[in-house]
Structure 1
Amino acid sequence: MFKLNLKIALRNLWRNRIITSINVGGLAIALAAFILVVMYFTYETSFDKTNPNYNNIYVVGRIYPDFKTNYTSPPFAKAIKQNFPEVENAGITKRGFFEFTMKNGKNTLFAKNFMQADYNAAKILDLKPTGGLEKPAGEVDRLSYLSEESMKVLYPNKTDNKPEMVGMGSSNSGITSKINGSIINNLHSNITFDGISIGNEIGQGENYGMNNYTTYIQVKPGTDVANLEQKITKLYRNELLKGETDQKTIEEIKSISTFLDPLSNQHLKPKAGNDAPYKILIALSVLGILILVIACINFTNLSIAQATKRAKEVGIKKVMGAYRFQLTTQFLAEIFIQCLFATVLALIVAELVLPYFNNLFQINLSVWHIDNDLIWQLPLILCLITLIAGIYPAIVLSGFKPALVLKGNFSTSKQSYWLRNSLLVFQFSIAVIFIIGLFIINSQLKYMRSEDLGFTANQVVYIKNQTLFNNPVKFGSLNFESVRDKILKIPGIKSATVATDVPDGAENGTNGYTFEGVQSSLDFVDVDFDYFETLDIKLKQGRFFSQSFSTDTANSAVINESAVAKYGMKNPVGKTIKGCNIDYKIVGVIKDFKAQGFESAVQPTIYTIKNPCGNYKTQIMLKIEENKMADALATLKAQWPQINPKDGQDFRYEFLDELYGKLFKKQEQLQSVFFAAALLTIFIAILGLFAFAKYITNGRIKEIAVRKILGASDIQIFKLINRSFLVMVLLANVISWPVAYILTKKWLETFAYRIDLPVLPFMSSALITILLTVITVSIQAKKAVKANPVDALKYE
């Protein structure tokens, strides 16, 4: 019986090979897209899951009235461990703040990400040096490791794990450091590095004012995290209140709290960070599911449409004693065969598309990886789509009544008719949403690329540097003045400056500042002369820093418009703002500029040349004439050992406009995904429409023949056939517009600076779907319209 049913199934599929091809092809394409989405979702949600303590690790952060941060001070971790028995371990890490050079002969490594960690943090984060994690011998001793990738750069022929001495900085610096071995750098983790230095303790001697470390804690299983969070907040306030007598400061401390953020949140949605990656992942997952649903709808629609061709087969089998369950199982098996073919084809398509997908998201997924979860996911998906796409058609086909179908009085039910039309409307509704979404994403990206940023990134070169240029000169830092003078002698260089930060979307440091008795937190950027001129930032009031004023290097400050608004200042130039034990005189107000991109509002910011509580000034920026750019960069590279001896021959740079452009990367990814999704949904919907129009047209051949004999023109018949489909497409637009409006409005609200929601994408979507429908249906109808009526009616 099985063999007979298999033959019937294969013959039936071959007899209707056009419909079968559309079914299998559409499902395969949608399934390929879904497979890629499933792989990407699995990848993005499994960061750090190899850590055996994954579910019990938390990052400790701080909450102030106007901001959140993951950065804490070194003593806090030890205090948490000592006070709360439910905390098994607590440790801290610190990221490096600039890229530095490591050398072994002619082999050079540019370490962009060198991290410090205490021994407890290394245990919590499951860091694995080759040979195992060792505890440093003394309190100040450090064990330094390079990632396996970095070790291969410096020592390509190394086969042992013996310690090595490497040169630090330029070749003539004479500075060396011991590397104790290599360490596994888990790229599928939030804690990645080129190298790491592990000590028993780090940050010795630093107090609660030095908040530039990340604190990790590991709690015992079953710990009440919400209760622990409250206790840590109380501890933190008590630590800050020690020795404090100023009543105003005491009240401010009481407004500070802490939070615990699970390790599982850190990659996609950190509490003190941007959750845009999480939103994009959810959007991408929904797109993948919808594309697969549309393909399943196609399958269901066409299977129902084909029902009449199987009616007599079902009638005869029922007369011969077949039960409905047996027929349902048979038809489900036929659908399973088609889904199996589609799955095999989908894997081939996914493998072909995967290099482009990996390039878009800068990842390295593989369909055939041995640890791939697709091994169990694909069979589950196959069974699921077989049931979704096949259960209703199988029930319809197996439910035919023998007496009716064998008399030739069979017709599909009104329920089937309405279901087919409803599914077609749903398909086009999804396609319309994708089209509208694509247009609006394009409009927002166009706005972001063309909108005035408030500064000019073109022709500005960011020099990667490890020399510290602080004012006053301290901790081995140098004065930038002599370096600037040498740089400006090179033809084509218009200005040069140095600062703690460049406008590339990175967060600035934050300190408390008081103006006329009002205390608040401000972002701070420590700069040098010509900072605003180099970036072409606009002045609103007062003046920029100038070498003509000696006080500018001592206690002058420039603030932005947002800082003026935050304090409610009136005529701020000449007034005093206090911070870090300095009474700063405000000498200028600049117009806001979008240093953090378009998703975050411009933060209230203060700019100073002298800041005892600030960071190191390492970010050199140069404004270079466009027609002299190549010559100026070549000269800089040749003269860099003399201009900046600490960096020596290792001259490295980036163009600031390219660096800032990376802020658009996530939205550009979303644009590419929506473009592909819109094309796929339209393609699959048109495939279904094509096959459905073919079925409807074939069913009305005799009607068309009669109408032609009675004098109907070709145009009238085209209008007749198109009318019902146009009604469905218009209905799909009406249904999808409110949904698209809500979704795109929500997406636009993630931007602080955005376009107004335009009407044109909604009208364009209707025009596109109507044109595609008319073209698709007319192509199918053409054969019936041009046919000779005699051929259709000769047996009547």
Structure 2
Amino acid sequence: MLQNYIKIAIRSLLKFKGYTAINLLGLALGLTAGILILLYVLDEVSYDKFHANLDRLYRVETSFATTESVNKKSYDANGWPIGAKLRDYPEVESVVYAKDASGLLILHDNQQIRQKMYFASPEFFHIFSFPLVKGDPQRALEAPYTIVISETMERKYFPGGDALNKTLTLADSLTFAVTGIMKDLPGNSHLQADMILSFATYPLLNSQFSYEEGWGNINVRNYLLLKPGVDIEAFQQKTAGMYQEHAGEEFKHWGITASVLFQPLRTLYLTSHSNGMGPLGSLDRLYLVSGIAVFVILLACINFINLTTARSVYRAKEAGLRKVVGSTRYTLIFQFLSESLLLTCCALLVALMLTTAILPAFNLLLDKQYTLTALTSPAVLFSIALLVVVVAVLSGYYPALVLSGLRPADVLKGKMQYSVRGVQLRRSLVVFQFVISVALVLGTLIVMNQLRYMQEQSLGFTTEEVLVIDASVVRTANRDVFQTFGDKLRAQAAVSQVSFANALPGRRGWAGQVAWAAEGRSEDAVTVEYIAVDEHYADALELQVIAGHYFDLKRTAALKDGLVLNERAVAMFGWASPADALGKRIASPSGYPAGEVVGVVRDYHQAGLQQAIGPIVMDYNPQASDLYAVRFQSKDASPLTASIHTLWNEHFPGHAFHYSFLHESFERQYESEQRLAQVFGLFSGVTVLIAVTGLLGLVSFMVVSRTKEIGVRKVLGAGVWNITRLLSREFLGLVLLANVIAIPVVWFLGLRWLESFATRVPLHPGIFVLTLVIVAGITVVTISFQTIRAALSNPVDALRHE
């Protein structure tokens, strides 16, 4: 019996090749979109899920609030003693100390090489499921100056053989013994490192570090493994006041309160707002993309329903004859569902081929390395099989119900009746398709418009023709070499200015520094971004000084004690105007920033326009700088870059030359928005294509059902234009209705999304008009193909049976 159903299904699908091809294409496109998004979702939700004790793992965070505000900010770093104090609690099984160590460069073949590295305490390989292929995971990080490297690093630095017990030289003279070889950390880990250094080394490199003091030094990270059965909520309440208990007066003096938070590792990647140790995801973006996948697949199902219904007039006699010879309604439903299932399975095969072809470009778009092997787990395969069945049932059940419900006598006499309810349903499905299509097209235009708006705004400085040289790779006690190199850069004919600082737009300075107006109270402290600069910083970036003066070598007092603020900092410190701020003093518990205000620059965007301009305090401190900003005049930077590279090798032999252009590095802050626009554009194109094929099916259905009416109208003198307008008017009305439904929803959601940007484009009605024109134009082209052909048909063919 089943074999017979399959044979009939194949015969039927091959008989109507055109409809089958369109149905196959629609379903394949929907399933392709679904598979691509499934790969994305599987990767996003898999982060950190491979750890054995995942349910008991937490990252310790610090939450700050200024005393006059209830707004809190959390950081993924903690004061030095936090981890040591947590070890004393009976609920805690183990605590890890971790700190970024990428500033320690590896000396290899007379070259200084930067790798991703952490300092980590010995518990690292106990808490986290990162297996060692060589070495003892319990003792590998116990002793100072020991290091665990990945298998890739072993092949890179020890190509001749086993690296265990051999040495690596870091920071020119620090010798580390290799005590373990670990597997490369998985790509779906929020921790990403090539090498792990023993944390016991860190106090030897930083003599000020202490496990007992330094509550305000928020620069180490801690991870926590709780004992089984611990109530995290109760433990959170028990430990929240650690900062206030041990250093409450110190924080009060700074005008802030601090508390301890625990972030579950299982949700960290998607829900954390701060992740200095690796990649960071977005739960909102995951929901958005998953929603798009559901809608695209639904549209493909709707497309199938409309096309199959349009074909029902050709299948009606078949259904009638089968009923006459004894087929029941249920066997007919099963037959038509068999066709739907067979077509869906074929569509899945086509979708897998399309996915294989598209995947490299999709990986490039998202900067990922997805492979189809992610789909081979039993759970995913079962989900895909279930999806195929669901799609087949959703697509085939309604047409099967319609065809199996026809009365044989009416069908065999050619009296096909179409219920008002059925017509309304098909129209509603088309409207739904276009609502989703319009929404995605509008979403794409809104994201692209916001991106273009941010790129066109004045930044308050000049990004073009500025070369940025990263000197952080250089570790030397002789700071004079940096000054000499800067002087040689200024001597280049194409160079107009050179500055040396610790931050540039797009590369943040020391954010989160606490300061207050000296004549005020420490309780009124604000957090500012501290930037160490030289006397050329304002000229190199073309910042505008609006009060006082910038740093000048002739004003030695200002160099020692002077500070330059932006307008936002002036306002936050409570001064009436930039001129009013001159001569006032700023105090800080750490000494950075502290001094007298000697100048104010006009506000400029240190970070991307997603964020509001924050308070900035500049201090003359070239000794703390590691970035050169080289403003040049030549349109072709290649000769200058080659010349600077030569100078670099002369002054910093053995150190890699890393450079970029300021406008490019600043634009990289918009990568997330650019990818979102590309994803929206991709899937809006898919939904429009699917909607168009669904519309084609409904037009075909209408033309067939009104063939005699068209014939009569032509006999009575109606021309091609009259008939085309008659048939098109209904569908343009459906598209207009879809816009009326979609536009208010997208307007609301668009405003909500734009609220996340400090600088945002107003939602102009022109975007919505443009969307209506685009969708209406595509609709006219689609329906004209069928309606004009119907209008040109011979009325004799339509009326010969009357």
TM-score by length of 1: 0.91
Q: Deviations over 1:753-789 (max 9, x none)?
A: 1100111111111112222222211111222222222
1:136 and 1:199 in contact (8 A); partners too:
no
Q: What secondary structure does 2:81 align onto?
A: helix
1:527 and 1:222 map into 2 onto residues whose CA distance is 52
Change (3 A) 1:705 1:395: closer
Aligned-pair CA distance for 1:617:
2.8
Q: CA RMSD in A?
A: 2.7
Aligned-pair CA distance for 1:88:
1.6
Matched, 1:636 2:639: no
1:468 and 1:616 in contact (8 A); partners too:
no
2:465 and 2:154 map into 1 onto residues whose CA distance is 36
Aligned-pair CA distance for 1:746:
1.7
Structure 1 partner of 2:146: 143
Of 300-309 and 699-708, more deviation after overlay is shown by 300-309
1:54 and 1:88 map into 2 onto residues whose CA distance is 13
Q: Deviations over 1:493-532 (max 9, x none)?
A: 3333332323225474322212122322222222222222
Aligned-pair CA distance for 1:713:
1.3
Of 487-496 and 754-763, more deviation after overlay is shown by 487-496
2:102 and 2:114 in contact (8 A); partners too:
no
Structure 2 partner of 1:539: 545
Q: Deviations over 1:139-159 (max 9, x none)?
A: 76132133332333333x333
2:299 and 2:691 in contact (8 A); partners too:
yes
Change (3 A) 1:248 1:475: farther
2:28 and 2:350 in contact (8 A); partners too:
yes
Q: Deviations over 1:86-111 (max 9, x none)?
A: 22211121113647343146xx5732
1:318 and 1:371 map into 2 onto residues whose CA distance is 43
Change (3 A) 1:702 1:145: same
Q: What secondary structure does 2:124 align onto?
A: helix
1:374 and 1:96 map into 2 onto residues whose CA distance is 39
Change (3 A) 1:54 1:437: same
Structure 2 partner of 1:514: 516
Instruction: Kindly report which structure 2 residues correspond to 1:769-784, keeping only aligned pairs within 5 A, or say none.
Output: 769-784=775-790
Matched, 1:430 2:431: no
2:502 and 2:236 map into 1 onto residues whose CA distance is 33
Matched, 1:213 2:220: yes
Aligned-pair CA distance for 1:184:
2.4
1:699 and 1:581 map into 2 onto residues whose CA distance is 82
Aligned-pair CA distance for 1:374:
4.3
Structure 1 partner of 2:342: 337
Aligned-pair CA distance for 1:649:
5.0
Structure 2 partner of 1:34: 34
Instruction: Kindly report which structure 2 residues correspond to 1:304-323, keeping only aligned pairs within 5 A, or say none.
Output: 304-323=309-328
2:114 and 2:473 in contact (8 A); partners too:
no
Of 421-430 and 272-281, more deviation after overlay is shown by 272-281
1:780 and 1:714 map into 2 onto residues whose CA distance is 12
Q: Match for 2:188: what amino acid?
A: H
Change (3 A) 1:247 1:179: closer
1:499 and 1:617 in contact (8 A); partners too:
yes
1:133 and 1:507 map into 2 onto residues whose CA distance is 39
Matched, 1:593 2:604: yes
2:531 and 2:619 in contact (8 A); partners too:
yes
Aligned-pair CA distance for 1:694:
1.9
Q: What secondary structure does 1:131 align onto?
A: strand
Change (3 A) 1:713 1:768: same
Q: What secondary structure does 2:270 align onto?
A: coil
Structure 2 partner of 1:259: 261
Aligned-pair CA distance for 1:574:
1.1
1:139 and 1:201 in contact (8 A); partners too:
no
1:636 and 1:247 map into 2 onto residues whose CA distance is 46
The correspondence for 2:675, drawn from 654, 669, 676, is 669
2:240 and 2:260 in contact (8 A); partners too:
yes
User: Unaligned regions of 5+ residues in structure 2, if any?
Assistant: 66-71, 204-208
Structure 1 partner of 2:43: 43
Structure 2 partner of 1:361: 366
Instruction: Kindly report which structure 2 residues correspond to 1:124-163, keeping only aligned pairs within 5 A, or say none.
Output: 124-135=127-138, 141-155=144-158, 157-163=159-165
2:734 and 2:758 map into 1 onto residues whose CA distance is 38
Structure 1 partner of 2:794: 788
Instruction: Kindly report which structure 2 residues correspond to 1:387-786, keeping only aligned pairs within 5 A, or say none.
Output: 387-466=393-472, 480-504=482-506, 506=508, 508-515=510-517, 516-517=520-521, 518-570=524-576, 571-580=580-589, 582=591, 583-610=594-621, 616-627=624-635, 629-643=637-651, 645=652, 648-786=654-792
Q: Match for 2:145: what amino acid?
A: R
1:92 and 1:118 in contact (8 A); partners too:
yes
Structure 2 partner of 1:71: 77
User: Unaligned regions of 5+ residues in structure 1, if any?
Assistant: none
Q: Deviations over 1:679-712 (max 9, x none)?
A: 1111111111122212211222221111111111
Change (3 A) 1:322 1:407: same
Q: Match for 2:260: what amino acid?
A: T
1:112 and 1:616 map into 2 onto residues whose CA distance is 22
Aligned-pair CA distance for 1:579:
1.1
Q: Match for 2:157: what amino acid?
A: L
1:666 and 1:597 map into 2 onto residues whose CA distance is 12
Change (3 A) 1:661 1:527: same
Structure 2 partner of 1:380: 386
Matched, 1:7 2:16: no
Aligned-pair CA distance for 1:468:
7.2
Change (3 A) 1:576 1:493: same
Q: What secondary structure does 1:658 align onto?
A: helix
Q: What secondary structure does 1:322 align onto?
A: coil
Structure 1 partner of 2:116: 113
1:86 and 1:629 map into 2 onto residues whose CA distance is 60
Structure 1 partner of 2:235: 228
1:581 and 1:124 map into 2 onto residues whose CA distance is 34
1:137 and 1:9 map into 2 onto residues whose CA distance is 64
Aligned length: 775
1:457 and 1:656 in contact (8 A); partners too:
yes
Aligned-pair CA distance for 1:200:
4.6
2:140 and 2:283 map into 1 onto residues whose CA distance is 42
Q: What secondary structure does 1:74 align onto?
A: coil
Structure 2 partner of 1:192: 192
Q: What secondary structure does 2:96 align onto?
A: strand
1:193 and 1:300 map into 2 onto residues whose CA distance is 51
Aligned-pair CA distance for 1:478:
5.8
Q: What secondary structure does 1:485 align onto?
A: helix
Q: What secondary structure does 1:158 align onto?
A: coil
Q: What secondary structure does 1:525 align onto?
A: strand
2:224 and 2:330 map into 1 onto residues whose CA distance is 58
Q: What secondary structure does 1:260 align onto?
A: strand
1:109 and 1:154 in contact (8 A); partners too:
no
Q: Match for 1:299: what amino acid?
A: F
1:129 and 1:181 in contact (8 A); partners too:
yes
1:782 and 1:581 map into 2 onto residues whose CA distance is 79
Q: Match for 1:584: what amino acid?
A: G
Of 739-748 and 174-183, more deviation after overlay is shown by 174-183
1:503 and 1:660 in contact (8 A); partners too:
yes
1:719 and 1:640 map into 2 onto residues whose CA distance is 72
Q: Match for 1:609: what amino acid?
A: Y
1:199 and 1:6 map into 2 onto residues whose CA distance is 66
Q: Match for 1:249: what amino acid?
A: H
Of 693-702 and 630-639, more deviation after overlay is shown by 630-639
Q: Match for 1:68: what amino acid?
A: S
- Seq. identity, %: 29
